[in-house]
Amino acid sequence: MEEISEEKLDKTAFAILMSVLVISVILFGAVHAYAYSFFFICIFIASFILVKKNITKDIKTGKYAYLYLKTDLDILFYLFFAYLAFQTIPLPELMVRTISPEALAVGKIARSFLYEFEQAKSAWYTFSSYIYPVRQSFIRLVAYWLLFRCLVETLNTRERINTAVAVILILGSFEALYGLIETYSGHANILWFKKGEHVKDLSGTYINRNHFAGFMGMGILLAAGFAGALFEQKKKRGKVSTEWKKSLRTRMSELFLKDRIYAKKILVVTSGVIMGLGLILSASRGGMISASIAMFLMGLMFLFKKEHRGKGLLLLAMFLVTFIYAYNVGIDYSLKRFNHISDDYETRERYALKTYEIFEDYKITGAGIGNFQYLYPRYQSSEDKKQYFLYAHNDWLQFAAEAGIAGFVLLIAGVFYYIYFTIRRWKARSNSYSICLGAVPFAVFTAMGIHSYSDFNLHIPANFMMMVTIAAIGHSAMNLEKRYHKENIRYNYSELRLERKGIFLLLLFTGVILWSGIWSFRHLAAESLCNTVSNSTLNRERYPSIEKDKGRDHLGRQECRIQIQAG
């Protein structure tokens, strides 16, 4: 009964995570507070379910233990949890002045409104003058980390991995086809939301075509990798003298199985072509360039494996078929956008230069992750005075401004750590399934990294969660081993005995999840009562009148006012 219970918990958590992934994409990429807060809560619930599953009891001793999964990405998340905490911890004035004089100056100005100058003079200060966005960034990081861990744990069979891949490919095909229908029918809607601009560009259910293109790029790379994984290596045949002994039923079942595999290959390649068509007709130059470079990288990885070099032909075939379809539908508009790339580059360069000024002022420890939108108006160019910027349109430079040199070094170190150990594992594999799906995360990271140089895809929750999901798929596929005619995924667990140290670590782990869940719920409740951030799809007033606020409960009003004052 215990095994059945664990299996049910595992299936429930997996179903929740897959539902979050699908609905987050459909609901405008989960860019609004009501969407991402709800999805984060769902991820935290799935995490608690798996915590319950991993608490085991030793039959002999009667003692309990917790099985803690180890992954290659854990070190990167641990480093940033510590760094985000460091940005919000009050430190002596001398230390803050030495490392970040600008942070001290802003902190003193902020405190002068609340305290007398003499009282503020001897106070301790944080490197981030505004802690609220750093706290929200911490919660997002917890959600993404738990999503990766939970998916790695639930993608524990080949069938489960195939299910996750199929869900993503079906979702990507739906997004592309929906965008085609809405664009070329002249309806130009995104669900119930009417497009205000770029009506000729495909965007699926995303508001921004570039973020839709980011998802399409990831989908194409996953389709290419999965199609290659289905082309298993042909094993050397033994003696053929026993072939005649096979019964008619055996021969028919083998033929039926071959037909099913062949049909699956055709469907996977078709989904890749459909998403490729969606990418090209989105007219996103960054999306097309980044996906092409990532596809080239995947082809190079296959070249390192002698027996898999033919997979490059599959990538070429997908490109050719996609281009033919796009040419017939009307690729002229997408190609014409490259004629204006120099004009757009000048605009993005202006944003980048102003963002670099923020980095210069907060060079060592950054201004606080999430603080860009509150600082940028102070540095904004005169040409952009009538605009309000949430993002710098360059995720790398924005991250440098918010995290500083210290945070950027931690990011690069964590990424190289992950790449080094994952590449070692990938090179040691020989089966087609592990090699092809294992190469997909590297290609996806490359595509998102290049595209984020001119956009802000990494700030879109649905796209970041999709990237994390593909990383989990690749991680699980590379741990797939065949022993004794059975395929199992072998993970590295550490056993924490639930005694003093083990109980403390488990309480710390669950405490972080619970704290993040409570704050996500508070954020969701407050935004449902009065939205303090832009919310175009629900068409709600950002600053509702007092009369409209009268019917709301006292707690909700208080939370709303706190957020308005903070924002």
Rounded to 5°, angle at Cα 465 from 72 and 145: 40
Confidence tier at 310 by pLDDT (50, 70, 90): low
pLDDT in tens, 163-188: 999 999 999 999 999 998 988 887 77
d(CA 270, CA 1): 43
Dihedral, CA atoms, 530, 533, 537, 539, nearest 10 degrees?
50
- Indicate if the pLDDT at residue 442 is higher than 90: yes
pLDDT for the residue 117 = 47
pLDDT for the residue 259 = 55
In DSSP notation, 443-498 reads HHHHHHHHHTTSS-GGG-HHHHHHHHHHHHHHHHHHTEEEETTEEEE--EEEEEET
What separation in angstroms does the CA of 116 have from each of 109, 110, 112, 119?
11, 11, 6, 5
Residues 42-52 have a mean pLDDT of 95
The pair phi, psi for residue 122, each rounded to 5°, is -100, 10
pLDDT in tens, 61-77: 778 888 888 888 888 88
- Indicate if the pLDDT at residue 464 is higher than 50: yes
Confidence tier at 563 by pLDDT (50, 70, 90): very low
Least confident window among 73-77, 206-210, 304-308, 507-511: 304-308
More confidently predicted of 385 and 114: 385
d(CA 468, CA 561): 34
Determine what percent of the chain is predicted with pLDDT higher than 70: 77
pLDDT for the residue 555 = 41
- Indicate if the pLDDT at residue 242 is higher than 50: no
Rounded to 5°, angle at Cα 196 from 195 and 201: 60
- Indicate if the pLDDT at residue 39 is higher than 90: yes
- Indicate if the pLDDT at residue 279 is higher than 50: yes
pLDDT in tens, 379-421: 888 787 777 888 888 999 999 999 999 999 999 998 888 888 8
The pair phi, psi for residue 410, each rounded to 5°, is -60, -40
Q: Which residue has the tokens 């989908």?
A: 219
**Quick one: which of 155, 147, 145, 149 has its CA closest to 478?**
155
pLDDT for the residue 122 = 56
393 DSSP assignment: S
Least confident window among 29-43, 212-226, 325-339, 477-491: 325-339
Residues 433-445 have a mean pLDDT of 91
The pair phi, psi for residue 189, each rounded to 5°, is -110, 155
Least confident window among 104-108, 307-311, 385-389, 492-496: 307-311
Q: Are 99 and 362 in contact (CB under 8 A)?
A: no
| Strands 189-190 and 193-194, bridge-based pairing | antiparallel
d(CA 80, CA 407): 8
pLDDT in tens, 189-232: 888 877 766 677 788 899 888 999 999 999 999 998 998 888 76
Residues 2-14 have a mean pLDDT of 80
Confidence tier at 497 by pLDDT (50, 70, 90): confident
Domain ranges of the chain: 2-82+130-235+246-501
Q: Are 393 and 348 in contact (CB under 8 A)?
A: yes
What separation in angstroms does the CA of 429 have from each of 234, 435, 477, 479, 493?
16, 6, 10, 9, 21
Residues 81-87 have a mean pLDDT of 91
